[in-house]
Chain A
Amino acid sequence: MLPEKRAHELERRAHRRRSIDRWFGRLGMVLTLTTLGILAVLLLNLAVNGLSRIDWHFLTSFPSRRAAEAGILSAWVGTLLLMIVTASVAIPFGIAAGIYLEEYAPKNRWTDFIEINIANLAGVPSILYGLMALGLFVYSFRFGQSILSGGLALACLVLPIVIVATRESLRSIPAMIREAAFALGATRWQAVWHHLLPYSTGGIATGVILAMSRAIGESAPLITIGALTFIAFLPPPALHSTPPFVSFEWLFSPYSALPIQMFNWVSRPGEEFQANAAAAGLVLMVITLSMNGAAILIRRRAQRNITW
């Protein structure tokens, strides 16, 4: 081939490559925005159908056979109480497990096994936690179809999230911090408590918020343990005016929860109930999306404030 012709050919190819790259760049941008657009459409759809239903009455009323009078009082109280149980189990156990695996555990087969086990747990379908809770908590431990059973099921479900977040934020702390602490005579726990935990608070907090947001939106495990019933009452109060002042009776109370209430309304025929479902969905979305947003902000700030 003549030199000029070859040069021309090469230039043509380079040109074509550049235009392919440009096209792919545009395609990627369009697909990214489309995917995010679906989220926007989803929110918009909920808002259009449900926003008019959200008022004080909706937040302070029990579910009802008449769609226009129904509200989410028992649902959001139930969700709140479930989260108290879930958080008080998943957070301490998750953080403890994370610290143990990252800072204490010897490298051996047992540790490898725990590691694989956590990776698998993170991928176990949520409904299986419901089946476990049904067989174990509801029937074997006789907790019944209660807030305690539901909260424990959700705690097991989000445990891996807390563990992984704790481990990752501990792992990102350079070894020199530990070495400096040990050099000054700190025990392992002192190094963890005084140095490593303060540095990893941001990462752990992010993980905990994400875990809670996941738990708030879960409905499958709660349905398997029989939460889908008509609940038009609140669990007994935890505080009393007479001794012993505190009561844990609420733990054993039947309950409803926001996603459960929404599922109930979705599966009913009739546009009014669907409007209720949209309204409940909107409340759920606002809660979970703002928790996720908070988690992102905390992670950003934690990353910005620490320079090793």
Chain B
Amino acid sequence: MASAFVAPGRRLDKGVEALMVWILRIGGWASVLVTFGIIVTLVTESAPFFAKVPLIRLVKDTMWTPLFSEPQYGIGALLAGTMVTTLVALSVAVPLGTILAIYLSEFAPSRFRELVKPMLELLSAVPTVVYGYFALLALTPLLQKIYPDLPQFSMLSAGLIMGIMIVPYVTSLGEDSMRSVPMLLREGAYALGDGKLGVAVRVVFPGAFSGLAAAYVLAISRAVGETMIVAIAAGLQPRMTINPLESAATVTAFIVQVSLGDLPHGSIGYQSIFVAGAMLFLLTLGFNLAGHGLRKKFHRAS
């Protein structure tokens, strides 16, 4: 009979197996639990705010001063700051990141590429508080020499440094997707007489576009959620402005600013940072899902 040949430890093995499946499964659930925790916290802690303040005021008010005695709840003032710093950061990270990706994938000698890639990654490993320090105490004084009217806190300075921070996100994902474009396509274009840059721009770039788009979208998500650089260098005053030469608070900087003070549980200040947080979560969720979808598309295509 077959069962006679079952090794003595077999039953134990089965038991260990069943136990491990459960332990590992719990690990898998932990990640869902974290998301759940974030959503539930944001919803329950900001709900009392919405019970007090009608939604329309978030859109209608032009200032964000929830801690004043006559509060205003125009969240647009915070979103403006986030938008401006993000755009400044993207205006650095997208062109620079894309050129570096094209260069590293199509032009650079392979030994140079292997040397430089991990070094570029270090740029995104620098603690953001250090970048904030650098923006406030090194870049801003430098910019003030060129443009003397620049205030001590400015969205320009914070945005530029933030752009440097997200360059590696664009470059590394962009370079991966460009290198996965099949050699055959390049060779076809070379055979038709195109040059290296022509092939890169007309063949490789379109071929890798979903990967690059994913890189851009994830870079936006990073810039929107970045906190310390803007909190240190862009200022903490909410201001409805689109001029990057001014100082203004972002959604994230507002959360920091309120957290710095005394924050009794259940006060309007406490609730308002969860409202800002919920806003931030929705914004980045959109970008993260779009980025994930684009990335999957690129993996399927290659």
Contacts and interface: CB of A to CB of B under 8 A. Distances in A.
Given A97-B31, A131-B273, 5 more contacts: A25-B107, A92-B27, A104-B21, A131-B45, A188-B21
Interface in A100-123: 100-101, 104-105, 113-114, 116-123
25 contacts: A21-B197, A24-B107, A24-B197, A27-B103, A28-B104, A49-B137, A104-B25, A117-B35, A119-B292, A131-B45, A132-B41, A139-B265, A159-B34, A160-B31, A213-B125, A217-B126, A217-B129, A220-B252, A223-B259, A225-B259, A262-B129, A266-B132, A266-B232, A274-B137, A284-B127
Contacts of B138: 41-42, 45
B127 A217 contact: yes
Given A21-B197, A35-B96, A116-B289, A97 B119 contact: no
A288 interface: yes
B27 A100 contact: yes
Which of under 10, 10 to 19, 20 to 34, or 35 or more describes the interface residues of B? 35 or more
Nearest to A296: B118
A107 B182 CA distance: 29
A14 B280 CA distance: 51
Contacts of B227: 125-127, 220
Interface stretch (B10-18, B58-66, B204-212): B10-18
Given A28-B103, A31-B100, A126-B225, A121 B133 contact: no
B136 interface: yes
Interface in A23-45: 24-25, 27-29, 31-32, 35-36, 38-39, 41-42, 45
Interface of A: 10, 14, 17-18, 20-21, 24-25, 27-29, 31-32, 35-36, 38-39, 41-42, 45-46, 49, 92-101, 104-105, 113-114, 116-132, 134-136, 139, 156, 159-160, 163, 185, 187-190, 192, 210, 213-214, 216-220, 223-226, 228, 259, 262-263, 266-267, 274, 277-278, 281, 284-285, 288-289, 292, 296
